[in-house]
A = this chain, B = another copy of it.
Amino acid sequence: MEAKEISQAVIGRLPRYFRYLGELKDEGVERISSQELSGLMKVTASQIRQDFNNFGGFGQQGYGYNVEYLYREIGKILGLDKQHNFVIIGAGNLGRALGNYLNFERRGFIFKGMFDANPELVGKDVRGVKVMPMEQLESFIRENDIDIAVLTIPKTSAVEVADKLVANGIRAIWNFAHVDLNVPEGIQVENVHLSDSLMKLSYNINRYNSDIK
């Protein structure tokens, strides 16, 4: 398929559409117009139609969109109809919290392994998965069809671990370490920099207060 590149701005909005459509579906709503969805989601109807049309027409003139169909199609676009195996590297608080989060499984993300450099954590159980030592990471990635590595380790070791992951065929890194990873073209990195997010909040608190002075 000769698909033109879809902008990340559009991709970034798809999960939110997916969530709203899922809720509408669960409420038994059968169809919805861009106008109604616009009211619900507080985005323009124009943007909704443009976004959907990046992927071809999902609607029908005079009718609107079929909720269940649109929900399913967006799921497919997001790759949620496929299984993605992941490992978590770093069995600290955050790593364990993510390992225990059950909803990922519902979307096809399967928790396959967990690793930590600290011998005291090795062998511990997180939702049926035993923490393994770092020495086993590379062979495990290769032998268990792992797509995604979740990095919940300190930034000091993150860059080095990322290189190992890439060398062993990982396809994507979900990076919670507070450092920019440098990976070759074609390896996907999604950063979750929690402290950056908190700083934005801080800025907005203070800006608002100085504005009303």
Contact = CB atoms under 8 A, between A and B. Distances in A.
B84 A202 contact: yes
A29 interface: no
A147 interface: yes
Interface stretch (A60-68, A100-108, A130-138, A161-169): A100-108
A196 B16 contact: yes
A171 interface: yes
Question: What is the count of identical protomers in the complex?
Answer: 2
Given A94-B97, A195-B104, A208-B186, A79 B200 contact: no
A201 B186 contact: no
A192 B197 contact: yes
A172 interface: yes
B15 A196 contact: yes
Residue of A190, A198, A207 most packed against chain B (CB within 10 A): A198
A18 B210 CA distance: 21
Nearest to A185: B208
A206 interface: yes
A148 interface: yes
A188 interface: yes
Interface residues of A, number: 60
A188 B174 contact: no
Contacts of A206: 79, 82
A190 B196 contact: no
A96 interface: yes
A178 interface: yes
Interface of A: 1, 3, 6, 8, 11-12, 14-16, 18-19, 77-80, 82, 84, 92-94, 96-98, 100-101, 103-104, 107-109, 147-148, 171-172, 174, 178, 186, 188, 190, 192-208, 210-213
Given A15-B195, A98-B194, A190-B204, 11 more contacts: A14-B203, A15-B200, A16-B196, A79-B202, A93-B96, A93-B97, A97-B97, A104-B198, A107-B202, A171-B205, A190-B201
